[in-house]
Amino acid sequence: MSKDSLMKKLEEKIKKCQKCGLSQLRTHAVPGSGSYDAKIMFIGEAPGYWEDQRGLPFVGKAGKILDELLKGIGLRRDDVYITNIVKCRPPGNRDPTDEEIKACSPYLDKQIDIIQPKIIVPLGRHSMTYILKKFGFEPQPISKIHGKVFEARTLFGKILIVPIYHPAVALYRPALKEELQADFRILREILNTKG
């Protein structure tokens, strides 16, 4: 089966999912968007209000910042794949609970298996913790390890994991925008050396 049909099938499953209470509250589930052949996969935490309304990831204010950061390193949304650990919006944009992450993370694992990215970029604390643990690393505070490169071995080859602050941080702590831009420049360097 092609990546395209595997992902379409998975997205349909996500849209019908009832595995946790968030399914009762959603307008739309948000499977993800972008290229199924992406070299880079960005993983946020959970959809917000606008994402829930439109069924697409990162379309609110944080999404505009992500677009700007991507443009700054010569990429567009179509070049990458963007998703979240949790596919439905938690009420009031609260953090996803451990139970919600546990119920939803098999979908993310499957997305990683299908896309087989070369670089995974967890955006924020929850996605960083999940991804680092999944690949056998000890999570640390994101303030200590953002922009650092972790090398993981998988059945489909080597993956580089580069945790980065969630783009929303630039809305609440504008001083961190420069750190976000610097971390994105690290991604550009990796892409340039990987071809």
**What tens digit of pLDDT does each residue of 27-69 get?**
999 999 999 999 999 999 999 999 999 999 999 999 999 999 9
The fourth-level CATH superfamily of domain 3-190 is Uracil-DNA glycosylase-like domain (3.40.470.10)
Checking if the pLDDT of 107 tops 90, the result is yes
Share of the chain above pLDDT 70, in %: 99
Considering the entire predicted model, what is its pTM? 0.95
Question: Which residue ranges make up each domain of the chain?
Answer: 3-190
For the chain, the three-class secondary structure string (H helix, E strand, C coil) is CCHHHHHHHHHHHHHHCCCCCHHHHCCCCCCCEECCCCCEEEEECCCCHHHHHHCCCCCCHHHHHHHHHHHHCCCCHHHCEEEECCCCCCHHHCCCCHHHHHHHHHHHHHHHHHHCCCEEEEECHHHHHHHHHHCCCCCCCHHHHCCCCEEEEECCEEEEECCECCCCHHHHCHHHHHHHHHHHHHHHHHHHHHC
